[in-house]
Amino acid sequence: MAKTRFAGINPAVITPFSDKGELDLIGLKANIKFYMDSGVHGLVINGSTGEAAALTREERVTIIKAAAEIAKGRLKIIAGTGASTTGHAVTFSRDAEEAGADAVLVITPFSVIPNKEGLYQYYKQISQAIKIPLIAYNLPQHTGVSLGAETLVRLVDEGLVAGIKDSSGNMSVMAQIVKEVGDKISVLTGADDLLLQSFVTGCSGAIIALANIAPKQTVQLYESVQRGNISEAKDMYFKLLPVAQSIISPENFPAQVKELVKLMGRPAGPCRSPILPVSTEERKNLARALEHAELVEKIKA
C-alpha cells in the first residue's frame, strides 16, 4: 500500500440535497470550492457527515468524481468506504479508487460486532484489495465497535493502514494512539470540540464536521499550534467551541451541521430520513453559536 502522510484540516464534507432529496452536485462543488479557497489541506467525502449510509453505490461514485473534478489534484480526496460487511467495504473501496479518490476512510463495521480477529481481517482484506492508502476510522458511539490499540498496532506493524481518524472523543484514547503509532502513521482527530488538545498532544491533523462551517478558522487554529503560538490557538478554539459543542451529539446527526451551513447561506438542503430537521429552538441556539464565533452577523432565527 502506498505510504502518504495526511495532515492539516480536512473537512468531513456534507452532501447537499435538493428539497426532493436528490443530489445537489452544483451545491457540492460550490462548497468544495469554498473550502479550498479557505486553505484546507484535504477533503473527506461520503463519510458520516456526508450521510454515507443514506447514499447509493452510484451516488457515492458520482460524488467522488465531482470532488476530484473540482480539486484537480490540488489536495487529497479521501472517500468514506466502510460498511457492515467486508465484501461491501471492499466494493466501495475499489469503486473509490477507480473514481479518483486518493485514499479511503474505512469506519469499523456497524450493525455487527466482530471480535478482534474479525476486525483485523476486515481491514486487512480491504487494504489488500486496493492500491491507495487506507485510513481507519474509530467512531464507537455510532457503531458500537471500538478499534482498540492492540488491533491498531497490529495493522500498523503490518503496513495495512496509513492513518487513523479517532472520533471517540476520549483524550486518553487519543493520547495513547499518538504514543503508540504517531511516529508511524497519520493520527487525525475527529473530535470537533477537542481540536486544541488533540493538536497539542501530537495529532497530525483533523477530519472534522466543523470545517464545513469554519474552514478558515480551523486552519488558523491548526497552523497556530504548528508555529507554537498556543495563546493564539486558544483564542480561536474558545471562539469556535460553542459551534463545535453544538454538533458533537450522535443523535440526529448531521442535521445540526447542515443547519449551520444553511444559516451561513451556503448549500446544504435537508438530511435524508430518518434524520429530521432541527427544531426552532435548536436553530436559535445554533445561530447564537455562530454569532459567538463571529462567523455571521446577527441572525433572525
- pLDDT tens for 5-42 read 899 999 999 999 999 999 999 999 999 999 999 999 99
Tens digits of residue pLDDT in 243-295: 999 999 999 999 999 999 999 999 999 999 999 999 999 999 999 999 999 99
The CB-side HSE value for 1 (13 A sphere, CA atoms) comes to 29
Q: Is the pLDDT of residue 1 over 70?
A: no
Over the stretch 114-156, which tens digit does the pLDDT of each residue have?
A: 999 999 999 999 999 999 999 999 998 888 888 988 999 999 9
| Sign of the CA dihedral running 123, 54, 146, 214 | positive
* CB neighbour burial string for 143-172, b if at least 16 within 10 angstroms, e if fewer: bebbbeeebbebbbeeebbbbbbbbbbbee
Given strand 134-138, what is the order of strands in its sheet?
Answer: 8-11, 205-208, 186-189, 163-166, 134-138, 103-107, 76-80, 42-45
Write down the catalytic residue from 35, 122, 123, 165: 165
pLDDT at 3: 53
Q: Which residue has the cell 464545513?
A: 212
pLDDT recorded at residue 182: 95
pTM, rounded to two decimals: 0.95
Question: Is 137 a known active-site residue?
Answer: yes
Contact 14, 213 (CB under 8 A): no
> Is 60 exceeded by the pLDDT of residue 174?
yes
Dump pLDDT digits (tens) for 43-62.
Answer: 999 999 999 999 999 999 99
120, 137, 222, 237: the active-site residue = 137
**Average pLDDT value for the chain:** 95
Position 2 scores a pLDDT of: 41
Phi, psi at 169, each rounded to 5°? 75, 10
Would you state the pLDDT for residue 183? 94
Assigned superfamily of 8-227? Aldolase class I (3.20.20.70)
Q: Is the pLDDT of residue 300 over 70?
A: no
Q: What is the dihedral of CA 258, 261, 266, 267, to 10 degrees?
A: -10
Instruction: Please tell me the distance from the alpha carbon of residue 13 to that of residue 28, in angstroms, as a whole number.
Output: 9
